[in-house]
Structure 1
Amino acid sequence: MGEVILRFLNAQWDVGLGRPILWREIVGNLFGLASALGGARRRVWAWPIGILGNALLFTVFLGGVFHTPQDLDLWGQAGRQVFFIITSVYGWVAWGRYRRHHSDSRDAVRPRWATPRERAVAGAAAVVMLVVFYLALEALGSWGPASDAWILTGSILATYGMARGWNEFWFVWIAVDLVGVPLLLSAHYYPSALMYSFYGLFCLYGFLTWWRSEHPRVVSDDEGDAVG
């Protein structure tokens, strides 16, 4: 079994783009996609699936440490996988608790907009994290520390917002993707860049799904008018 796992971790695919890519980067992003789909549908299983993807991608983004084909250390990208795991455990527990207390519903969270106070606290936390992460990532020699700090900060806020059921977290993800795609392309992490591009579009679907669940009467009225 250990040999099979080792072979999977080291498996590469040469796509003719100058450097081969790791299969575990592809698989890790597929887990992330499955987690995003589960999150859009407000299912508890989204969190453990996401944790599996985070664990794989942690080893991918420390290319210099784990000697991957990219051979670049994106400490912010790797660090956010750790924060993802921590926040995902919180989300897993929170959504599981909600699901147990609302056994008549299939949903594991009730979507809502953050309150003005919650937005202010999140905004202040974002500024602090941006500064701290930039200084830390620059000291670590991360490749693209400013972009990496932006992505790490946004990822933490978005994951926490998802755990709390805030509709705003979908827009935070879009802001992360806008910076993440060019960064990952320039660093030759092509599967991750492709998934970031897809996530940006998927976030629009996710937001509409949450919004409709929050306004079922509006959707029903619209459908009734269309039929009439």
Structure 2
Amino acid sequence: MHELFDAVWTIASHDILWREVVGNGFGLGSAIGGMRRRVWAWPVGIVGNVLLFTVFLGAVFQTPQARDLYGQAGRQVFFIVVSVYGWARWSQARARGRAHGDRDAPAVVPRWAGRRGWIQLISIGVVGTVTFAYVFQALGSWGPWADAWIFTGSFLATYGMARGWIEFWLIWIAVDAVGVPLLFMAGYYPSAALYLVYGGVVIWGFAVWWRQTARTPPADGNGELPQQPLLLAE
């Protein structure tokens, strides 16, 4: 197990942890599952979060990069917490849909966050980024301000996904725009490359969810499935 945990892949004289590659692979699978509104997206994402937590505490776990990105590591913990919430929420919504005769019911009906939702997102985004930037700076994080936005934005995007808000895809785009340069500069090349792939998946997912709003009846205030069966095409 120790050898498997520390297994590396050397490319152009750079040592890359296999668990960084595998962890990001689970993350990509979770993103695709989220786009398709499948409940399994949440447990798959949790596995990736656990692996990546050990990757981004580079100095603690003695990774080849040996750099601690506290925001990147800390957000994995938040991902797990919010993913449990999203997993339960989507499971309940899917069960209600199936109870009303739709065996292929998706776990959530996409909707816009609305004015109240945007106020929540912007307020938490600004306060969270500023607060965690100072926290990460005090802890010695590498790139504290970028790390703070990645941390805060990732939390908001995951929460928005759990609520079924279409805007969560846009937040992911903003996170990727900051995360790719930071990870490349810090030497986390697999994660940076996967962020670029995520960018394409995120844009695709945004288009899929946006189109879906025109094909389904409006959801209630909690983003839950309507009480009538839906005929949805994936």
Q: What is the TM-score normalised by the length of structure 2?
A: 0.89
Q: Does 1:166 align with 2:162?
A: no
| 8 A contact 1:10–1:22 mirrored in 2 | yes
**Which residue of structure 2 lines up, in the alignment, with residue 180 of structure 1?**
179
Q: Select the residue among 59, 63, 80 that pairs with 1:64.
A: 59
Deviation of residue 180 (structure 1)?
Answer: 0.4
| 8 A contact 1:38–1:44 mirrored in 2 | yes
**Which residue of structure 2 lines up, in the alignment, with residue 8 of structure 1?**
4
Instruction: Measure, in 2, the Cα distance between the counterparts of 1:101 and 1:85.
Output: 24
Higher helix proportion: 1
| 8 A contact 1:181–1:194 mirrored in 2 | yes
Give per-residue Cα distances to partners, 1:137-175, cap 9 Å, x unaligned.
001100000100011111000000000000000010000
Deviation of residue 19 (structure 1)?
Answer: 2.7
Instruction: Measure, in 2, the Cα distance between the counterparts of 1:67 and 1:42.
Output: 37
Instruction: Measure, in 2, the Cα distance between the counterparts of 1:40 and 1:111.
Output: 10
**Which residue of structure 2 lines up, in the alignment, with residue 129 of structure 1?**
128
Deviation of residue 132 (structure 1)?
Answer: 1.2
- Which secondary structure state, in structure 2, belongs to the residue aligned with residue 32 of structure 1? helix
Q: Does 1:152 align with 2:151?
A: yes
Instruction: Measure, in 1, the Cα distance between the counterparts of 2:209 and 2:125.
Output: 24
Instruction: Measure, in 2, the Cα distance between the counterparts of 1:155 and 1:147.
Output: 12
Q: What is the TM-score normalised by the length of structure 1?
A: 0.91
What is the aligned-residue identity percentage? 59
Instruction: Measure, in 2, the Cα distance between the counterparts of 1:80 and 1:188.
Output: 19
Instruction: Measure, in 2, the Cα distance between the counterparts of 1:125 and 1:68.
Output: 32
Deviation of residue 78 (structure 1)?
Answer: 0.1
Instruction: Measure, in 1, the Cα distance between the counterparts of 2:66 and 2:121.
Output: 34
Give per-residue Cα distances to partners, 1:37-86, cap 9 Å, x unaligned.
00000000000000000000000000000000000000000000000000
Q: Runs of at least 4 residues of structure 1 off by over 6 A?
A: none
**Which residue of structure 1 lines up, in the alignment, with residue 20 of structure 2?**
25
Instruction: Measure, in 1, the Cα distance between the counterparts of 2:93 and 2:158.
Output: 17
Q: Does 1:120 align with 2:119?
A: yes
Give per-residue Cα distances to partners, 1:175-220, cap 9 Å, x unaligned.
0000100000001101000011111111111011112222128xxx
Deviation of residue 6 (structure 1)?
Answer: 2.0
Paired amino acid for 2:69 = L
Structure 2: state its 5+ residue gaps.
217-234
**Which residue of structure 2 lines up, in the alignment, with residue 143 of structure 1?**
142
- Which secondary structure state, in structure 1, belongs to the residue aligned with residue 106 of structure 2? coil
Paired amino acid for 1:25 = E
Paired amino acid for 1:114 = A
Aligned length: 212
**Which residue of structure 2 lines up, in the alignment, with residue 222 of structure 1?**
none
- Which secondary structure state, in structure 2, belongs to the residue aligned with residue 131 of structure 1? helix
Q: Select the residue among 30, 33, 40 that pairs with 1:35.
A: 30
The higher relative CO (CA closer than 8 Å, separation ≥ 6) is in 2
Q: Does 1:81 align with 2:39?
A: no
Paired amino acid for 2:206 = F
RMSD: 1.0
- More divergent stretch after superposition (49-58 vs 116-125): 116-125
- Which secondary structure state, in structure 1, belongs to the residue aligned with residue 166 of structure 2? coil
